[in-house]
């Protein structure tokens, strides 16, 4: 089966469940609480959706949650739980869920993640709008024969993170009186955290934050014609900047402490982004 036919099968399954919402969102490590705020929620286990991957890492649930933003807001589709390349998954599996959303009819995708802060002005707990990325995974989900059913051979990445959607997130943060950092997300393979030398290198390369997800998803989402917007939760200062050893428990704890700010920012941003994309349909 091709990646396209696998995604189409999942999209057909989702079409039987409901009309597609305009926005999808992927929730990163420790950021799953947002899915619990949705109203009239229908939760579909990944295991029940054709070709969806098995989700293993702790803190990642593995459900597609369909529901309304609080207060009778627009419907959205939340991917609570993602798979990473470092788990040994094929690239096609890493991006299958968002390709399925695109074929179902979703127009935009919010990608969220936990990331280490490289920019000296950042603190643990900050939220960062992703304005651009460095794909340092050495991988690309589009390698191989291109399937025109999915997208073009050479997708443009000059506005990978949609400037208008970025402006909406900036506006939402300002109206909520929340500090919002912004910067370049460097995506590495992991799963080992970086060495201090690697963090110094990444800073020279222009990275403000570092993590182990998102970049391949953004590439596949742009290929599939989705508008992308990204928010990182800076869960720790990166190796060598942090005085202490890094661990996943700290990442989850910090994400948990930022939960309220994250949920508010995501909710208001998604409300406004949905209104914009709905008007464009
Ligand atoms: N490095 C890579 N990935 C991460 C980090 C980090 O410091 N924190 C959360 N995800």
Per-residue model confidence as pLDDT tens digits over 164-205? 999 999 999 999 999 999 999 999 999 999 999 999 999 999
pLDDT at position 248: 87
Q: Whose CA is nearest to atom 10 of ligand 1?
A: 115
All residue ranges of the chain with pLDDT < 70 are 56-61
CB 232 within 8 A of CB 130: yes
Q: Whose CA is nearest to atom 3 of ligand 1?
A: 211
CB 199 within 8 A of CB 130: no
- Taking the alpha carbons of 145, 151, 157, 158 in that order, is the dihedral positive or negative? positive
- Taking the alpha carbons of 20, 15, 72, 39 in that order, is the dihedral positive or negative? negative
pLDDT at position 253: 84
CB 94 within 8 A of CB 26: no
Query: What are the b/e assignments for 70-86, b being 16+ CB within 10 Å?
Result: eeebbbbbbbbbbbbbe
Q: What's the gap in Å between 231 CA and the centre of ligand 1?
A: 14
pLDDT at position 54: 80
Q: pLDDT tens-digit profile of 4-42?
A: 999 999 999 999 999 999 999 998 877 778 899 999 999
Q: Which 8-state DSSP code applies to residue 205?
A: H
pLDDT at position 53: 86
Q: Whose CA is nearest to atom 7 of ligand 1?
A: 116
52 CB less than 6 Å from ligand 1? no
Domain 3-280 has CATH 3.40.50.150: no
Mutate to test the pocket of ligand 1, among 136, 251, 256 (most ligand atoms within 8 A of CB): 251
Indicate which residues carry an active-site annotation.
29, 60, 84, 86-87, 114, 212-213, 236, 248
pTM strictly above 0.85: yes
Q: What's the gap in Å between 113 CA and the centre of ligand 1?
A: 9
115 CB less than 6 Å from ligand 1? yes
Q: What's the gap in Å between 68 CA and the centre of ligand 1?
A: 31
pLDDT at position 256: 83
pLDDT at position 86: 93
Mutate to test the pocket of ligand 1, among 28, 118, 235 (most ligand atoms within 8 A of CB): 235
pLDDT at position 24: 97
């Amino acid at each position: 089966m091709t990646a396209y036919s696998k995604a189409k099968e999942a999209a057909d399954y989702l079409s039987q469940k409901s009309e597609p919402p305009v926005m999808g969102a992927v929730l990163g490590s420790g950021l799953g609480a947002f899915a619990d705020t949705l109203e009239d929620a229908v939760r579909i286990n990944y295991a029940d959706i054709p070709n969806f991957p098995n989700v293993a890492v702790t803190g990642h649930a593995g459900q597609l949650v369909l529901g309304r933003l609080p207060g009778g807001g627009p419907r959205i589709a939340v991917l609570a739980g993602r798979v990473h390349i470092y788990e040994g998954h094929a690239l096609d599996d890493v991006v299958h869920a968002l390709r399925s959303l695109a074929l179902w009819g979703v127009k935009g995708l919010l990608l969220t993640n936990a990331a280490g802060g490289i920019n000296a002005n950042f603190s643990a707990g900050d939220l960062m709008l992703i304005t651009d990325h460095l794909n340092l995974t050495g991988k690309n989900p589009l390698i191989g024969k291109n399937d025109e059913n999915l997208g073009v051979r050479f997708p443009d990445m000059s506005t990978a993170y949609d400037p208008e959607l970025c402006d909406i997130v900036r506006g939402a943060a300002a109206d909520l009186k929340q500090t919002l950092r912004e910067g370049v997300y460097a995506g590495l393979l992991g799963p080992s955290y970086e060495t201090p030398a690697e963090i110094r290198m990444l800073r020279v390369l222009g990275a403000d934050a570092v993590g182990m997800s998102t970049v391949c998803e953004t590439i596949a989402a742009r290929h599939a014609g989705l508008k992308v917007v990204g928010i990182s939760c800076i869960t720790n200062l990166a190796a060598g900047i942090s005085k202490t050893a890094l661990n996943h428990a700290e990442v989850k704890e910090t994400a948990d402490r930022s939960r309220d700010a994250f949920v508010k920012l995501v909710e208001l941003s998604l409300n406004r982004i949905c209104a914009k994309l709905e008007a464009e349909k």
